Amino acid sequence: GAVVSQHPSWVICKSGTSVKIECRSLDFQATTMFWYRQFPKQSLMLMATSNEGSKATYEQGVEKDKFLINHASLTLSTLTVTSAHPEDSSFYICSANLPDTQYFGPGTRLTVL
Amino acid sequence: QKEVEQDPGPLSVPEGAIVSLNCTYSNSAFQYFMWYRQYSRKGPELLMYTYSSGNKEDGRFTAQVDKSSKYISLFIRDSQPSDSATYLCAMRESNAGNMLTFGGGTRLMVKP
């Protein structure tokens, strides 16, 4: 199956700092990647759709200036949480799009102190 | 009403039992159906993918789709403790650009 990696797998940061999360498709190219957020015991919540070479499409209620997405190549998308606050603490998961369905990364656990 | 309904569980079964996980949906435009398994603190892993009504089998897993009733199921035979995880159903329309609509997930616990 298709392999998607995320880095880092977990990160702890101080309030007010910015954190960058990388999502890579390892054995295929993905023109579209998705970023999700997941709270404990809840399903995935789509944050944005990342398209290679163009601006990301954000879901309603997601602040584009706070969650910066860059999809600079066919194998890499990044999510930067700017000026992070404790309420941004969550599990962030990316997925890469193939013709049949989405393949997910292992997730990044962000804790903001 | 959510587009996709899934019993949150938790569902607790003894090792070796047959497990039935179910989702109902309201959007008749959904044509592609998936089941993902998610272990705690991990990303979802694709288990089954199907686009037609009927059954699809892969080892101990069988996915069943009934488009007329808007109902899908995942059966796990001879369940193992390693099957303990949250199972998410997901589905999409034909021309949705792979935008998935997820169920809320069912937490399964298989006790040895």
| pLDDT tens digits in sequence order for chain A, 113 residues long | 689 999 999 999 999 999 999 999 998 898 899 999 999 888 899 999 998 888 899 999 999 999 999 998 899 999 999 999 999 999 999 999 887 788 999 999 999 99
- Helix/strand/coil (H/E/C) assignment for every residue in A3-24: CEEEECCEEEECCCCCEEEEEE
To the nearest whole Å, the CA of B42 is away from the closest chain A CA by 5
Residue B106's pLDDT is what? 95
Beta strands in B1-112 (DSSP E): 4-6, 11-14, 19-25, 30-38, 45-50, 54-58, 61-66, 71-76, 85-93, 101-102, 106-111
Residue A2's pLDDT is what? 83
Residue B2's pLDDT is what? 78
Residue B96's pLDDT is what? 65
8 Å CB contact of A107 and B43: yes
8 Å CB contact of B104 and A49: no
- Taking CB atoms and an 8 Å cutoff, what residues of chain A touch B88? 43-44
3-state secondary structure of A103: strand
Option in A32, A98, A105 nearest B43 (CB): A105
- Taking CB atoms and an 8 Å cutoff, what residues of chain A touch B32? 100-101
Overall average pLDDT of the B41-51 stretch:
93
Q: What percent of chain B is predicted at pLDDT more than 70?
A: 98
Q: Could you tell me which residues come within 8 angstroms of residue B112 by beta carbon, excluding any fewer than 6 positions away?
A: B15, B81
- Taking CB atoms and an 8 Å cutoff, what residues of chain A touch B98? 32, 97-98, 101-102
For residue range B1-10, what is the model confidence (pLDDT) as tens digits?
Answer: 779 999 888 9
Residue B77 has pLDDT above 90, yes or no: yes
- Taking CB atoms and an 8 Å cutoff, what residues of chain B touch A100? 32, 49
Residue B111 has pLDDT above 90, yes or no: yes
Residue B97 has pLDDT above 80, yes or no: no
* Residues of chain A in Cβ contact (below 8 Å) with chain B: 1, 4, 6, 32, 41-44, 46, 49, 91, 93, 95, 97-98, 100-107, 109
Overall average pLDDT of the B90-109 stretch:
88
Residue of A11, A44, A60, A97 for testing the chain B interface, max B β-carbons within 10 Å: A44
8 Å CB contact of A1 and B105: no
Cβ–Cβ under 8 Å, residues B64 and B54: yes
